[in-house]
Structure 1
Amino acid sequence: MMTAAVSAAETVPEPEGYRTEDYRAPVPATLKGAMVATTDETIALWKDKSAVFVDVLPHDPKPANLPAGTIWKEKIREDIPESIWLPNVGYGVINKETEAYFRKGLKSRLGDDMNRKVLFYCMANCWMSWNAAKRAVEWGYRSVFWYPLGTDGWVAANQPTQRNEPY
């Protein structure tokens, strides 16, 4: 399955702007201004702790005003250990609150160091991580990595995961 994702990526052109629909679709093989990381490169960055890992998988929080008796089952997220999970920051259009949340989350791990390595991921064929990495590049981060296979590639390589909660 991963091979199909990679070969499809080779035929998807990199758009000028952000992807704003159909987020679960083949992604490009490139991201201008960022480095595209393979699974082996991602494992190496994780093992030597040289990059901050940012999971951008969307998350739907429990609605505040659910009717009494409504059953809500929280989705469990297993991702790359020690990642910060910044859900919903990978949409093509984000509001000011989401942008502030995204910037605050990055700052919580990177401080003011715009040169520190930061790696964005989601799942295979997910534009959320591409959009988030593109946004970080546009904000001036100079060592941005994008891992297009995300947790799917990580798990396929028999790497450990841990349960995470949104930041």
Structure 2
Amino acid sequence: MTRYLPFCLLALAAGAATVPDARFDPQTGYRIAEYRGIIPEPPPGVRRINAAAVARLVDTGRATLVDVVPAEGAVREANGRWRLAREQRGIPGAAWFPEAGRGRVDPAIERWFLAGVARLHAAEPRRTLIVFCLADCWMSWNAAWRLKRAGYAQVRWFAEGADGWRDLGRPLVPMTPYPEPL
């Protein structure tokens, strides 16, 4: 009996390796739970960018900043306007799309996000799209991958996000959500 023990342990380990991780949507691969945590690598096809490189691109006008920090306690009304529970601070010049980084995003928010990024990109097509949230936030990972899947080639994932910007000694300013189209 003991001679079969290694094979049984191997079979158990193999079975455990195939258990799906409930924090990820099995169809899309987006993170859907526990959004704050260590992120081992950037989304497929997206390169990571550090705070110093983001600052250089911003300072030279070669970046379009896309902030996906959630709006805690906020309500998005039927007309697309947001009622915020408290002030949100972010990187100056960033377009803020609250809730767009969720793994299972509301379809109206996803349409607003993709249409808004399309408008931003059309206005400055040579700029690099830099997607961020806070440090260790899977929402920016999801949003960067969503944009890559939508066909954007120059997407960068700023993993340190607004926290990394602040740690560089750069200011954070009050933000308002990106406007809905009229």
Look up the match of 1:126.
137
3-state secondary structure, aligned to 1:111: helix
| Shift in Å, 1:17 | 1.1
Distance in 1 between the 2:125 and 2:104 partners?
23
> Which segments of 5 or more consecutive residues in structure 2 lack a partner in the other structure?
1-23, 78-82
8 Å Cα contact 2:67-2:133 kept in structure 1: yes
3-state secondary structure, aligned to 1:52: strand
Q: Where do 1:1-167 residues align within 5 Å?
A: 17-59=29-71, 60-62=73-75, 74-111=85-122, 116-167=127-178
Distance in 2 between the 1:98 and 1:73 partners?
16
Distance in 1 between the 2:84 and 2:175 partners?
16
Q: Deviations over 1:55-88 (max 9, x none)?
A: 1001132487xxxxxxx98321111100000010
| Shift in Å, 1:113 | 7.1
Distance in 2 between the 1:108 and 1:81 partners?
18
User: Under a length normalisation based on structure 2, what TM-score does the superposition of the two structures give?
Assistant: 0.73
Give the aligned residue type for 1:61.
A
Task: Give the count of matched residue pairs.
Answer: 146
Closer/same/farther in 2, CA of residues 58 and 50 from structure 1, 3 Å limit:
same
Distance in 1 between the 2:111 and 2:84 partners?
28
8 Å Cα contact 1:31-1:134 kept in structure 2: yes
Distance in 2 between the 1:33 and 1:74 partners?
36
Closer/same/farther in 2, CA of residues 156 and 32 from structure 1, 3 Å limit:
same
Structure (1 or 2) with the larger CA radius of gyration:
2
User: Under a length normalisation based on structure 1, what TM-score does the superposition of the two structures give?
Assistant: 0.79
Q: Which has the higher contact order (CA 8 A, sep 6+)?
A: 1
Look up the match of 1:7.
none
| Higher deviation after alignment, 134-143 or 93-102 | 93-102
Q: Deviations over 1:109-132 (max 9, x none)?
A: 112877641000010110000000
Aligned identity (percent) is: 31
Distance in 1 between the 2:57 and 2:174 partners?
20
Q: Deviations over 1:79-101 (max 9, x none)?
A: 11000000100001123212111
> Which segments of 5 or more consecutive residues in structure 1 lack a partner in the other structure?
1-14, 65-71
8 Å Cα contact 2:100-2:110 kept in structure 1: yes
Distance in 2 between the 1:166 and 1:30 partners?
25
8 Å Cα contact 1:114-1:143 kept in structure 2: no
Distance in 2 between the 1:36 and 1:104 partners?
24
RMSD: 2.2
